[in-house]
Structure 1
Amino acid sequence: MGLLSLFKTQRSRPKIFQKVSHELLSELAENNAWLSDYLEHQDKIARINWQGVFTYLEQSAVDKKHLITHQELTLLWLNQLRSQLSQQFFIYQSDHFIILSNGDDKFLNKLFKMTEAIYRRIKSALADILDPKFDAAENFKHPIFVTSDIDLYYDYVSYFYPEDGEFQQSSGVFLRYGINHFVVPESEFEQLEAVVAHELTHAMLSHLSLPVWVDEGLAVNTETMITRQANYRLNPQKNSRHNDFWNEKTIQEFWSGEGFQKPGETSELCYHLAQIIVASMAEEHPSFVEFVRNAKYPDSGEAAAYKVFGGSLGAIIEQFFGPGDWSPKPDQWSANQ
């Protein structure tokens, strides 16, 4: 063996991802033709009736008719989506991810290295909160749909948002629909790190029924840690904006989660308030972990706050904005939303 050949051999490393073969996808589709019965053509992209799919699979498990793993169902679904796209999309997988993308090998190698590294850091940072049974489940991988076509991105994600009102521009979303997955436009690679860190945190916490503010606060702070962004605490200018905006009525948009979906200042201040509250609470780590494990969406974590801290969440808001009736009031949310 020549020196050049030896040098090349020593430098060659196996890819951290593999392309899912056409043969495997074809076999999956052939063995699961029943999926076509649950396609709904409502827009440019045929969607799956997931409620129907899960009902079918539950009954099939009882009858021992069709047994399918989470990973197989993910591949089956992504292959169905891939078949509708005009571009040359392919499905790839690594240890913890299945990605549908039309990117080249160079982009994919960077993407998979980044996602696996972020996965390890999130798993370490949130080790006390994550349920080890959740992500250690056999054949479980996180699905990501990545596209360089920004129009396709918005065609896909707009289906999951109300038709009325202004659509919030985004650089990536985590969708709790059917198989939980997140969708990102390829855009500039530098932006992807923050998006993946934020959305993967949502994905890894999705087994919990968290209030929106807790979920977003954890995601923003994890994103900040991974991307090494400045820890954005209250400064005089930001504090003034918060004081002008929040009152006993608008705070309910924060607790209910509605404000996070509103474009403009409301969304911006909701995300920032969630970030600083979660960062503040996390300073008492054992108590914060217990709170997160008990916090539930319907009351925005109010019962968990009484259980762990012995008082209302409103007391935390008072620390920043002074006395007032800041507590969550779920009975008012239906009127607000």
Structure 2
Amino acid sequence: MFVVFLLVLVGLNIWMTQRVLDAGPTLDHKGLLVAAIWLVPLMGVLMVRSHLRNRAPLIDSEMPPPPPAEPAPATVAPAGHSALALDTCLRDANGWPVFDWGVVGDWLAGFSDEAQRERARVECQRAWLMHLRDALGPYATLHETDDAFVLSTLDPGMAKATSDFVARSSHRIAKVLGPLAAPRTGHKSILVVFDDEADYYPYTAAYDASEGESAFSGGMFIDAGCPHFVTCRADLSRIEPVIVHELTHAALSHLKLPLWLDEGIAVNTEHRLTGMQRSEHTPQQMHRLHQGFWGEAEIQQFWSGESFRRPDDGNKLSYDLARIIVEQLGKDWAAFSDFVVRAERSDAGAEAARYTMDIDLGALVCALLERAPSDAWSPRMASGQPRPATAFDHQMTST
């Protein structure tokens, strides 16, 4: 009997290993999955099988497209109000349809009733997303709930799970941030999931006014007329930290924070709510990398926000330094909350830190890096203002 059981177990392991190897390039961490199959008898097979079933596969080119969707509208016409002709606000940006939300805002200003105005705003968002859906191709669908829009090529079950996660995350973020978070006013969160970087980067470039080479971005919150966040397609477990990170930006966007502070809060909230803090380096190695990278010029890039856009190690080190600073300052939550509310982009929050916590930000960084204090490390913003906060890049923790 034992021999039969052993043969069945080996057969299951071989079968599941072959499934992992045949899964193609869209499946991450194949080596770890195969190791789990053989190192954890039976349970490993069950865990990997569940992972494969829940994974969002890339579209099969031979798969028939979904049934025809409702056509994208040419107008938005709420009852009892003049219609908005979408050709007056629809623009082309790198091949993608975007709205001129200034035109939309002028039209919405004509509503005297706040509730009607909000319903009309959602109708405009829905109309824009339907045009964007058509541009994404025949497999794209727009999934809508009371709390969120999810535009993607995800299968219906995955799209629903993603929208449910968006709703739960929004409420959890509001609890974590407390009064720092913008109050929810009935607006729907909007998530656009692109299939690959070939679509993602041209779209985000339409909202990114910066020049030159951009750092790797796994997700972005875009606060330009219609706040929404975008990411590349992945299975839900990889999308989760991106969603939490970008929703945190959305919750804080009304404060117009310095970039380092905004990112530091977002990374810490992401880690707290998703538990994902994977890194290719140990904390000791990261500390040595920080010590070797930051100098007087580099730290001024950090305060201005420029270092977050570097295509080298300065990118990930900027996010990590922001995380560390916020983690330290946040230990006194009452004082930290006061600091966040008062922080100004124009001086990277320097005056607010001195006023609320009697801390010099430059001296704090010097202490963290175990170097002698220097006035040259304090924010000096006269020669370089932070870039406009229309988009916030996110270095994914899983890459």
Shorter-chain-normalised TM-score: which range? 0.7 to 0.9
Q: Which residue number corresponds to residue 151 of structure 1? A: 198
Q: Which residue number corresponds to residue 113 of structure 1? A: 164
Does residue 120 of structure 2 align to residue 73 of structure 1?
Answer: no
1:191-225 residue CA offsets vs partner (Å, 9 max, x unmatched): 10111111111111111111101110011111111
Cα distance in 2 for residues equivalent to 1:336 and 1:46: 25
Q: Which residue number corresponds to residue 281 of structure 1? A: 329
Q: Which residue number corresponds to residue 302 of structure 1? A: 350
Q: Determine which of 199, 212, 216 is the counterpart of 2:246.
A: 199
Q: Which residue number corresponds to residue 262 of structure 1? A: 310
Bigger radius of gyration = 2
Q: Is contact 1:103-1:147 (8 Å) kept?
A: no
Q: Which residue number corresponds to residue 9 of structure 1? A: none
Output the amino acid matched with 1:99. V
Give the secondary-structure state (helix, strand or coil) at the position aligned to 1:183: strand
Alignment RMSD: 3.0
Cα distance in 2 for residues equivalent to 1:254 and 1:87: 42
Q: Which residue number corresponds to residue 288 of structure 2? A: 240
Does residue 226 of structure 2 align to residue 179 of structure 1?
Answer: yes
Does residue 301 of structure 2 align to residue 253 of structure 1?
Answer: yes
| Residues 237-246 or 278-287, more deviating | 237-246
Give the secondary-structure state (helix, strand or coil) at the position aligned to 1:250: helix
Where does 1:203-242 land on structure 2 (aligned, <5 Å)?
A: 203-230=250-277, 235-242=283-290
Q: Which residue number corresponds to residue 95 of structure 1? A: 146
Cα distance in 2 for residues equivalent to 1:80 and 1:254: 38
1:266-293 residue CA offsets vs partner (Å, 9 max, x unmatched): 1111101000000000111110111111
Cα distance in 2 for residues equivalent to 1:336 and 1:109: 35
Cα distance in 2 for residues equivalent to 1:336 and 1:210: 11
Give the secondary-structure state (helix, strand or coil) at the position aligned to 1:146: strand
What runs of 5+ residues in structure 2 fail to find an aligned partner?
1-68, 389-399
Q: Which residue number corresponds to residue 291 of structure 1? A: 339
Q: Is contact 1:305-1:312 (8 Å) kept?
A: yes
Cα distance in 2 for residues equivalent to 1:111 and 1:48: 25
Q: Which residue number corresponds to residue 47 of structure 1? A: 98
Cα distance in 1 for residues equivalent to 2:351 and 2:105: 32
Change in Cα spacing, 1:311 to 1:167, as seen in structure 2 (3 Å) is: closer
Give the TM-score taking structure 2 as reference length.
0.70
What runs of 5+ residues in structure 1 fail to find an aligned partner?
1-20
Change in Cα spacing, 1:310 to 1:149, as seen in structure 2 (3 Å) is: closer
Q: Determine which of 129, 142, 160 is the counterpart of 2:180.
A: 129
Give the TM-score taking structure 1 as reference length.
0.82
Cα distance in 2 for residues equivalent to 1:42 and 1:186: 21
Change in Cα spacing, 1:29 to 1:82, as seen in structure 2 (3 Å) is: farther
| Residues 185-194 or 212-221, more deviating | 185-194
Output the amino acid matched with 1:82. R
